[in-house]
Structures are given as C-alpha cells and as structure tokens.
C-alpha cells in the first residue's frame, strides 16, 4: 500500500493531525489486509475507487471513531483514499457526531453533510477548506492541554478541574477515561519516534515510557506488534 501525508500550515496545528492519501495497486491481490494503529484521532475518509471493509463493507464517505485497539482492514485492489485526521475537539467543532457514539467503529457520512463538502476534490483543496473553516483560531484549552501534557494530573491542574469532573467530561465527549486517551497519544508519538530515533531505548525515553520494556508492552497491547516490527513496517498509522 502507498501512503503519504501532505504538509500542513502552522494554523492547523492543534486541530488537524494529518491530511493523507493511500492507494492499493490495481494489479495485485484482490484483497490486501492492513492494520491501523489507534492514535487518538477521528478520521474523515473518502474512497475514490475499489472497496474497503472494517467490521462491514464501507461506503465511499465515512468517519472512523476513536480506536482502543488495532483496526484490521481489508482493502480491495485498486482502492484509493483521501483521509483527514482530526483531533476529537475539531471533529466536534466541525459538526461531527459525538465521538463517544462510535468508538472502535465507523459511521457513514451523508453527501449533504457539511463534512462531505470538506472532502470534495483533492487533498490540497481539503487543506484550503480547513483554513476557511478554522481561520486563525487555535485549539480549545482542553485540546491544547492534552497535546502538551503527559499525565491526567497535569491536564486537570491546567484546566482547573477536579479529577472526577475531568473523568465525567471525557466520558461524555470522548467515550473513554482521560488516562486511556493520553495512552493513545503516547503510542501515536512513539510510532513516529521508533522510526526517527537511532535506538528503541532513545524512542522510549523521548516519549516518557519508564524504559524500553514498558514501551514494548504498550506496543503489543495497543498495536499488536513489537516496536522493532513497527519500525520497519509502519507507513503512517498503518502496520
């Protein structure tokens, strides 16, 4: 599978994790099996050709929810995709359905939806439309705290919320505890880190794991493979 991400303007930071394209060769096997690692994002995906299956056959425009485990995908020969990887707070800002309602699943997007208009034309057009929608507004305080802090205690302190109130907010808006969400963000960063750092120990230290063994346990638990395999196989979130 071919996978590529577009450069994003600084104004999108804190709102958008990636705009990407992916394709499966038309002259290969009828179906390709691929796994996507959870990363704390909602993905708005347009399929321009071929077929795709996760849990069930998918339409040509859909959104995948927050994942707590690796998603096992089947992609048809010749399938082509454009994806918009949004942080949950931006998904809600753009009018998306409560992400707590489709954890580890996907929902179809109607062509009449404003979300569908974002995905028209190519990836460069998506970036331009996002600029129109988001303007110069930065992420909300909770979004900034989650991307910049590494512990639930630090997020709660920064937000001026009790731990119990933060838990209730997450149950309503995210469908999972804040500790689980921060765990996904750490894995997302570590997946990139194992490819960027010279050693796995350096990657573990950079992402705040207790040691390399701790990172390996998290990879096996959430991604279903060891960091060494992710280092050689990963293409973006796909392994």
Q: 82 falls in which pLDDT band (50, 70, 90)?
A: very high
What are the φ and ψ backbone dihedral angles of 194, each rounded to 5 degrees? -65, -20
What does the radius of gyration of the chain's CA atoms come to, in whole angstroms? 18
Judge whether 239 lies within some domain.
no
- CATH code, domain carrying 225: 1.10.10.60
The model's pLDDT over 149-201, given as tens digits with 9 standing for 90+, comes to: 999 999 999 999 999 999 999 999 999 999 999 999 999 999 999 988 989 99
Range of the domain at 43: 2-134
Give the strand pairing for 80-86 and 31-36.
Answer: unpaired
The model's pLDDT over 112-128, given as tens digits with 9 standing for 90+, comes to: 999 999 998 889 999 99
pTM strictly above 0.75: yes
- CATH code, domain carrying 57: 2.60.120
| Residue 120 shares a structural domain with residue 28 | yes
Q: How many domains does the chain have?
A: 2
């Amino acid at each position: 599978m071919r996978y590529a991400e577009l450069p994003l303007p600084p104004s999108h930071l804190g709102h958008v994790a990636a705009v990407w394209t992916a394709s499966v060769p038309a002259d290969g096997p009828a179906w390709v099996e691929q796994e996507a690692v959870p990363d704390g994002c909602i993905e708005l995906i347009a399929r321009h050709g071929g077929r795709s299956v996760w849990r069930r056959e998918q339409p040509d425009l859909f959104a995948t929810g927050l994942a707590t485990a690796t998603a096992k995908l089947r992609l048809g020969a010749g399938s082509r995709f454009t994806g918009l990887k949004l942080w949950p707070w931006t998904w809600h800002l753009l009018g998306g359905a409560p992400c707590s309602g489709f954890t580890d699943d996907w929902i179809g997007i109607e062509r009449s939806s404003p979300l569908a208009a974002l995905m028209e034309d190519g990836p460069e057009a998506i970036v331009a439309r996002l600029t129109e929608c988001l303007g110069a507004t930065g992420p909300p305080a909770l979004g900034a705290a989650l991307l910049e802090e590494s512990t639930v205690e630090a997020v709660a302190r920064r937000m001026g919320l009790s731990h119990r109130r933060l838990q209730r907010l997450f149950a309503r808006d995210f469908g999972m505890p804040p500790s689980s969400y921060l765990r996904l963000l750490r894995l997302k960063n570590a997946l990139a880190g194992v490819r960027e750092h010279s050693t796995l120990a350096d990657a573990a230290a950079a992402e705040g794991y207790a040691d390399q063994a701790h990172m390996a346990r998290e990879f096996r638990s959430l991604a279903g493979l060891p960091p060494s395999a992710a280092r050689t196989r990963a293409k973006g979130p796909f392994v």
